[in-house]
A and B are shown apart, each in its own frame.
Chain A
Amino acid sequence: MNKKNEAIYLGNEAIARGLLESGCGFVYSYPGTPASEILPSFITQAGREGQKVYGRWTLNEKIAMEAALTVAATGLRSAAVMKQVGLNVAADPLMSGAYIGVDGGMIVVSADDPGPYSSQTEQDSRFFAMLAKIPVFDPSSPADARTMVARAFSLSEKLQLPVMVRPTSTLCHARQNMSPEPLPHIDSTPRFNKEPSRWAATPRHRFVLHQKLNRKLEQIRQDSQFSFYDGSRDNRQRLAIVASGFAWSMTADLIADNRELQNLCCLLKVDLPFPLHQPSVDRLLADFSHILVIEETYPVIEHQFGRRDRVSGRLDQLIPGAGELTPQLVETVIHRYLDRLPPARPEKATNVRPRRPRLCPGCPHRSSFYALKTVLKDGIYTGDIGCYTLGLNLNALDTCLCMGASITQASAMYQAFANRGSGIPPIAAIIGDSTFYHSGIPALINARMENSRFVLLLLDNETTAMTGNQPTPASGILADGSQGLGLPLEKIIQGTGIAWIKVVDPYDPPRLRETLEAAQEFVQAEDGGIAVVIARHPCMMDAEARRRARRFATVSVTDECTGCDTCIDSYECPALEKDEETDTVRIDALTCVGCGLCIDICPFGAIVGQ
């Protein structure tokens, strides 16, 4: 029956549990799928159990990394939490922090997204750990992640080194039952031991720190707690499979289900993919002529074996070099390696495409995009990262490079056409409020300095919508719900020296169009420059906003509908559906929020609100 206080933990909640059970009192994070729930859960669990902690959303991941490294420099335990592309932003302090090290335990949680499902890349954070020369744990399940966080803190404190824990999206979003431990009493107080040759090391001292770092890694490479092969094997087993993380879990389930594979394969789990336990590597190479490495996403373990002739995996293309691993894929790989036919499994239907993500019903961005492409016709729309990347579906977004890039891209587009082109097309940068705070601000100052000209459409839904509606710096509301000091978008933009700023509600499409027209006029005027339009309306994920969005009890389609699909193609509201039998459009009453913004879109006036 139900074990004592057993509960279900989401992978991210299990990581938060691990942080709390390790006595970590400081967590800094920037939201990003798949890591977004770790910080809120850290704060909620602590609050529920009366543990005093400091958890904060930072403007970006670089700040999170710097803050966590600094708290750890005072001897306290801390963590920086982010998604893998966030680690790119935080790379600078991480590389340096690895040399300098820490006093209290400090861990970096960087969540990867094989697939990718919600990211620009499939990059492997474990390679980042390798580049920075810090150890990295690769958990295989929520329960394993919780334990590894504790191990990571011990290792970090013992060697005075930041340590990474790398979950993948499937683990972050897996749920598992486990029994939590009571939280420890945190009695440590901060102390900062001035040691300039370390905390402010000059290049000469950096060389010394680098040597020291290499010695730490060598120590871990020989540490028996990271052994993954002790030499015991069943003599019938002719293949060693070395796996880590979620790839190990899938492989373990597969082998547990297949007696033949159990007899042939010796499955080994690596907890610490870098630095790889050297005695295990040596023993394995002595005992097995063939080794198969299964890991996600890049060949980190495989590279460290160094024996391309005897080790298979991604480097010899047995495993595809892109995309996430699935149980079927792992099964096929193992069978192919053993020269056997994989068992027949039903094929996934290939003639149907999964429903693509789209903006929510009533989403204010949809109205903004529609106005943008109507007014700045045939323009270049440089985009950014957030829900509004879905402007792609509406043909109102042309680029998506990385966080904050929309502004620099608009500026550089302008300079390319102004300096070498025969005419300048309308150019608009589209960025959300949270992304603007994250990395749009220096870009805007830079664009103005270069005297670039474009419309900046700032989609302000007063939240970080894509990742679960975390507060933005505009309100100053902090991660624990307390009130910090807010800073409105307008003030920042005024501070850059840009004078043309208008705030408009996208639920008022005629005014939005007028404003965009005026903005483009200013951009093209003799003394013009950057025009900023802040389209402000709360996100529909907010229940109160959804209630206020309802301007009609029902919105429906009349017999005037010709089935031209204009509304579906150019507006793509999830409530608009094609009735295949009548070849007309209908509105799904369960999905519709009653905003009526689609009424004006129909060229035949066939959408009506009552």
Chain B
Amino acid sequence: MRKVKIIIAGVGGQGVVFLSRLLAEAAVQAGEPLISYESHGMAMRGGSVSCHLKIGGFQSPLIAAGEADVLLLLAAEELPHVQHLLKDDGRLFVNGEEAGKDGGKGQISLVPASAMALEHNLPRAVNLIVAGFAAAHSDFPYSVDQLRAALEKMPAKETIRAANIAALELGCQVGL
């Protein structure tokens, strides 16, 4: 059984928690045991939000510093709060136009998801653009097909589901 540790971070309102649920659903569909953690309450009011996901038979969802394999970042300015969690050779997928000035560790791939969301009139789907972009890379734990299948399984209004799938595919095209 593979073991994967993922961090998703951003700002309240960006859909960090939704993305965490999506990856959890993908794990279940792949028959992998998972445990994850998300912030609720006060933090949801525009504060820093991060989710931890551990796939492959763990007791606790919390990821210790230096142990995350993958980091999905919906707001580039949140990097300093979560960067320490990433492995030295970890993988980052970031919503941003340019890499941080201080470089940092790990292999980073950038996608201008906020600009794309505005351009394509998908203002609430920045999260799925980043997810689709990440999933187009072979070193992300789930493929775009797996994420699409998970989206279809999750309860949602048809219009919202369609927008989410469109955003996922939009991100994927940029990532390929």
Contact = CB atoms under 8 A, between A and B. Distances in A.
Task: Name the prevailing secondary structure of the A interface residues.
Answer: loop
A177 B40 contact: no
| A-B pairs with lowest CB-CB distance, top 10 | A33-B41, A118-B41, A249-B60, A327-B64, A357-B47, A354-B48, A249-B59, A345-B65, A352-B80, A346-B84
A358 B35 contact: no
Contacts of B42: 33, 117-118, 357, 466
Contact of A175 (B36, B64, B85): B36
Contact of B65 (A1, A348, A355): A348
Contacts of B114: 590
Interface size class of chain A, counting residues whose CB lies under 8 Å from the partner chain: 35 or more
Task: Name the prevailing secondary structure of the B interface residues.
Answer: mixed
Interface stretch (B26-34, B135-143, B166-174): B26-34
B25 interface: yes
Contact of B41 (A34, A356, A359): A34
Given A328-B64, A356-B47, A590-B114, A173 B59 contact: no
Given A175-B20, A177-B34, A589-B118, A326 B62 contact: yes
A250 B37 contact: no
A467 B41 contact: yes
A34 B11 CA distance: 19
Nearest to A10: B38
A117 B123 contact: no
B40 A175 contact: no
Among A253, A327, A351, chain B packs the most CB atoms within 10 A around the CB of: A253
B117 to A, nearest CB: 7
Interface in A588-610: 589-591
A173 B64 contact: no
Given A175-B37, A249-B60, A351-B80, 15 more contacts: A1-B31, A7-B28, A33-B40, A34-B40, A118-B40, A174-B38, A175-B35, A249-B59, A253-B58, A256-B59, A326-B64, A328-B65, A349-B83, A355-B48, A360-B46
A345 B85 CA distance: 9
A347 interface: yes
A22 B65 CA distance: 39
A36 B42 CA distance: 13
Nearest to A329: B64
A211 interface: no
B107 interface: no
Interface of B: 11-13, 20-21, 24-25, 27-31, 33-48, 58-66, 77-78, 80-81, 83-86, 114, 117-118, 123, 126
Contact of B34 (A175, A346, A347, A390): A175
Contact of B37 (A170, A328, A357, A360): A170
A110 B46 CA distance: 27
Nearest to A325: B62
B175 to A, nearest CB: 21
B81 A349 contact: yes
Contacts of A591: 13
Contacts of B47: 354-358
Interface string A129-155: 000000000001110000000000000
Contacts of A574: 11, 13, 46
Nearest to B117: A590
Contacts of A394: none
Contacts of A349: 80-81, 83-84
Given A140-B59, A589-B118, A8 B37 contact: no
B43 A175 contact: no
A173 B33 contact: no
A39 to B, nearest CB: 15
A517 to B, nearest CB: 30
Contacts of B41: 33-34, 117-118, 466-467
Nearest to B38: A173
A2 B29 contact: yes
Interface string A174-201: 1111000000000000000000000000
Among B48, B61, B117, chain A packs the most CB atoms within 10 A around the CB of: B61
